[in-house]
Amino acid sequence: MIGWWNLRRQTNPTPPTQIGIFYGSSTCYTEIAAERIQELLSHRATLHNIAHTALHRCAAYRTLLFGIPTWDYGELQEDWDSRWDELDALELTATDCAIFGLGDQHGYPLWFQDAMGYLHHRLAAQGAKLGGYWPNQGYKFQASKALTADGKQFLGLPLDYENQAELSDQRLRKWLTQLGLLEGAKANTGGAP
Ligand SMILES: Cc1cc2nc3c(=O)[nH]c(=O)nc-3n(C[C@H](O)[C@H](O)[C@H](O)COP(=O)(O)O)c2cc1C
């Protein structure tokens, strides 16, 4: 027998949180970051690996955090590549969005975090209210397509687990605080991240 709660869950697919984290990940670094964000938000966010979840599920959330690594000299990660055309159908005008990117600034300094820039461009075209920009200080790279027009900020939070893993947690805390999703974090609000 189906209880009323299960019946309601079957007929109403509204998730239990208002924050959705959608990410693609080939070697688990973006997944580790996504899981850490969920943990920092005390499980107020629902995780979706886009290898298994279509992007139309974004419609269920008021706040969306997207995790995207850059692969193969400035290319999309394979799951993002597969789902890229699904972005066309998203209506995001009432949605707060922010992106966290994964990249390797020493290994790929000419393409650092490029995919974050591609995704930012696509989300902006769908009307998203984008936040979570991040100063470019504290990174060493030569070029990136994920920078604002003046080159001073990244269009989301760049994480680099290859070279700066030890900085990731404080960057995540500060970024979530900046987005207004985390209160009382011991974030250093001044200076370079
Ligand atoms: C073959 C290869 C190509 C890569 N190309 C880039 C690149 O162009 N730009 C970049 O910033 N990082 C690049 N990276 C680094 C990855 O983005 C980084 O390892 C990331 O953490 C992978 O995330 P994932 O494990 O979630 O897929 C590359 C890594 C590999 C192994």
- As a whole number, mean pLDDT of residues 156-182 equals 98
CA 168 to centroid of ligand 1, rounded, Å: 16
26 CB within 6 A, ligand 1: yes
User: What confidence tens digit (pLDDT) does each residue in 72-123 have?
Assistant: 999 999 999 999 999 999 999 999 999 999 999 999 999 999 999 999 999 9
d(CA 160, CA 103): 5
Q: Which of 113, 120, 174, 172 shows the shortest CA–CA distance to 139? A: 113
User: What confidence tens digit (pLDDT) does each residue in 82-96 have?
Assistant: 999 999 999 999 999
- Could you identify the atom of ligand 1 that is nearest to the CA of residue 33? 26
pLDDT value of position 3: 41
Q: What is the dihedral of CA 110, 96, 43, 162, to 10 degrees?
A: 0
The pick from 23, 71, 112 for probing ligand 1's pocket by mutation, whose C-beta has the most ligand atoms within 8 angstroms, reads 71
CA 103 to centroid of ligand 1, rounded, Å: 5
pLDDT value of position 12: 47
Please name each of the domains of the chain with its CATH number. Answer: 19-178 (3.40.50.360)
80 CB within 6 A, ligand 1: no
pLDDT value of position 72: 98
What does DSSP assign to residue 192? -
User: What confidence tens digit (pLDDT) does each residue in 124-159 have?
Assistant: 999 999 999 999 999 999 999 999 999 999 999 999
CA 141 to centroid of ligand 1, rounded, Å: 14
The region that residue 14 occupies, defined by phi over 0 for left and psi between -120 and 50 for alpha, beta otherwise, is beta
User: What confidence tens digit (pLDDT) does each residue in 48-77 have?
Assistant: 999 999 999 999 999 999 999 999 999 999
3 state SS of 121: helix
- Could you identify the atom of ligand 1 that is nearest to the CA of residue 27? 25
